[in-house]
Structure 1
């Protein structure tokens, strides 16, 4: 039986655009309060003004270690507790490995892997104390299949798939559910690095989905009764051939 999300408090990273913004809007529509975490202070100011009082801005740069470390304490200074942590922020590198550079690789791995692990590490004591909570991560179909045109991105998402499944086993005895949503290609700025030919074909044959469709899957998972954990949801465009 579905449970209401009314009155729940969520924190979402990368909340100013794409899947993060769609998830924010979906949770607000379900009656939740959402702490919108993003490094873009101006975007957060505009969005929280538009979305209303249950949308709360939290300016955090996940690639800046002190800012990342301060995220959870600063969130908990603004709200009484956190029921849901959705680690959604990420970046993308496509193309052959020798076409990128070490600094870009470091940036992507730090955001897609290290920041997620640090955010989850920071929220665990709070959720353990409350003996309840939901931790969700945006993964990717690339975390389940070796995508030849995105070896660094795919590698980062395989790492997150392993991390989510190990943390699910560690935390379930504390009443904390852990899962991931793994979309196929989503219409967003992240696709700017896709090989032009791949992007053209995807647009032409309908192999892309909207951020809102990923958010709908997240709402489904979060609203299950506490005796049910949706471990992983792979959400693909029907015409995406992987």
Structure 2
């Protein structure tokens, strides 16, 4: 690795697995110190033991209002600054709208949209005071195309695409870059809710990518010169037909 992130401190939500974990490990490899944010304390204990002083555990339940509100202040108390905030935590609902229920919809919208907005809101004063920072949000190709088998998830990601692009315009004069990465299907626990037939076809056709391949894209975005913003990077499996 190049060490282009030496001295940087990143905070990543949903860092105990999937894209969050892959990104955390990629940033550590580039020299960053990473705050692993997740609700799974046992997983965080294992990961911080594995990565030593390059990793810091932050136990936060983003669906708990008080825990979510405390996240940024607690991180700053532990590490002093946040150069990179990667809002990655999310959940998934697939299938027809009539196949889910109101509580599940609320949970997904609160995690995929509300928690992202609150985390970004909380970190802005710190980054604006320092005159620098990067905010990256994990979106999805579903935030660019109306996917018929996942209307709630796709709707949440369209909302995030709008939020990221409006915040990019609000914050670029403060030295804060705001961007998103929009993967296609990634091999992760989120795919457990995919319609079985769609998942089978995706596996057979090679229409899935690894979390590490998304992490590579995020490293590229973060290591551009400060006068360059990668507004959105859509990362698709080559055989994915959408």
Normalising to structure 2: TM-score of the pair? 0.99
Query: Following superposition, which runs of at least 4 residues in structure 1 exceed 3 angstroms of deviation?
Result: none
Query: How many residue pairs get matched?
Result: 241
Aligned to 1:118: 118
1:30-63 Cα distance to aligned partner (Å, 9 max, x none)? 0000000000000000111011111000000000
Aligned to 2:65: 65
1:100-140 Cα distance to aligned partner (Å, 9 max, x none)? 00000000000000000000000000000000000000000
Do residues 168 (structure 1) and 184 (structure 2) align?
Answer: no
Q: CA deviation at 1:82?
A: 0.5
Q: Distance in 2 between matches of 1:3 and 1:149?
A: 41
Aligned to 1:236: 236
* Contact 2:13/2:88, CA 8 A, preserved across alignment: yes
- SS at structure 2 position matched to 1:229: coil
* Contact 1:3/1:224, CA 8 A, preserved across alignment: no
1:69-89 Cα distance to aligned partner (Å, 9 max, x none)? 000000000002000000000
- SS at structure 2 position matched to 1:53: helix
Q: CA deviation at 1:3?
A: 8.7
1:137-180 Cα distance to aligned partner (Å, 9 max, x none)? 00000000000000000000000000000000000000000000
- SS at structure 2 position matched to 1:77: helix
Q: Distance in 1 between matches of 2:153 and 2:51?
A: 32
Aligned to 1:146: 146
Q: Distance in 2 between matches of 1:11 and 1:195?
A: 33
Q: CA deviation at 1:209?
A: 0.1
1:187-207 Cα distance to aligned partner (Å, 9 max, x none)? 000000000000000000000
* Contact 2:69/2:118, CA 8 A, preserved across alignment: yes
Aligned to 1:12: 12
- Equivalent residues in 2 for 1:213-232 (5 A)? 213-232=213-232
Q: CA deviation at 1:12?
A: 0.1
* Contact 1:3/1:225, CA 8 A, preserved across alignment: no
Q: Structure 2: any 5+ residue segments left out of the alignment?
A: none
- Equivalent residues in 2 for 1:179-198 (5 A)? 179-198=179-198
Aligned to 1:79: 79
- Equivalent residues in 2 for 1:128-147 (5 A)? 128-147=128-147
Q: Distance in 2 between matches of 1:210 and 1:4?
A: 23
